[in-house]
């Protein structure tokens, strides 16, 4: 496992403000969602599946707010709802080469992909926003508030790319892996 980027504590405040509107109405979020649809987090993925939509790409780690998800949530994210299932390692507070590879592969595939993360998937929303096509939707949880719906556009993409560039590690390697040209 190769850690490419690590979130330092000084940048955590930059993640407090959501990258899109927050809602507690999954059906309304899905009605406005673009294509492809990416979900990050067990609760968001569970509610998306429960509303009858299967994400094109989903990242889960069987945890929510640092605690194990309950059996209902875990059982509700069934592998057979997806065309493919990948397992990767990604330690808390990091972004690994394996996560970047799973993201790029999942976005390029014509099959719905579930990525089961051993560690933590929380930061996967950042590279997903940075690389998903314009108009795509990335959904992730905002603790205690609801689901954040990010519609990918140049402004939010630049905000996220700037944040990735300020993380500890090797941002140039991350950008290469994600196909992001910073020039």
Which residue numbers belong to the known binding site for GTP? 42-44, 61, 121
Q: Where are the alpha helices (DSSP H) in the chain?
A: 26-32, 42-50, 71-76, 97-108, 125-131, 154-165, 171-178
* Element at 112 (helix H, strand E): none
**What token pair was written down for 25?**
């109405």
Cα–Cα distances (Å) from 58 to 14, 92, 94, 147, in that order, read: 23, 17, 18, 14
Task: Confirm if 135 and 157 have CB atoms less than 8 A apart.
Answer: no
d(CA 131, CA 108): 11
Under a CB-based contact definition with an 8 Å cutoff, are residues 40 and 137 in contact?
Answer: no
In the annotated binding site, the residues are 42-44, 61, 121
Nearest in space to 148 (alpha carbons), one of 156, 140, 136, 137: 140
Distance CA 176, CA 17 (A): 27
């Amino acid at each position: 496992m190769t850690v490419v980027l690590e979130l330092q504590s000084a940048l955590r405040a930059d993640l407090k403000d959501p990258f899109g509107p927050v809602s507690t109405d999954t059906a309304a979020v899905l009605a406005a969602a673009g294509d492809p649809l990416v979900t990050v987090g067990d609760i968001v993925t569970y509610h998306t599946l429960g509303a009858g939509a299967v994400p094109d790409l989903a990242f889960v780690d069987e945890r929510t707010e640092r605690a194990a998800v309950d059996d209902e949530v875990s059982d509700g994210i069934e592998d057979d709802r997806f065309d493919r299932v990948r397992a990767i390692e990604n330690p808390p507070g990091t972004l690994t080469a394996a996560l970047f590879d799973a993201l790029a592969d999942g976005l390029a595939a014509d099959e719905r992909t579930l990525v089961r993360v051993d560690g933590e998937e929380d930061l996967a929303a950042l590279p997903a926003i940075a690389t998903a096509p314009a108009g795509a939707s990335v959904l992730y949880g905002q603790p205690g508030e609801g689901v954040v719906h990010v519609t990918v556009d140049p402004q939010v993409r630049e905000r996220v790319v700037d944040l990735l560039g300020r993380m500890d590690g090797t941002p140039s390697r991350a950008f290469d892996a994600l196909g992001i040209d910073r020039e």
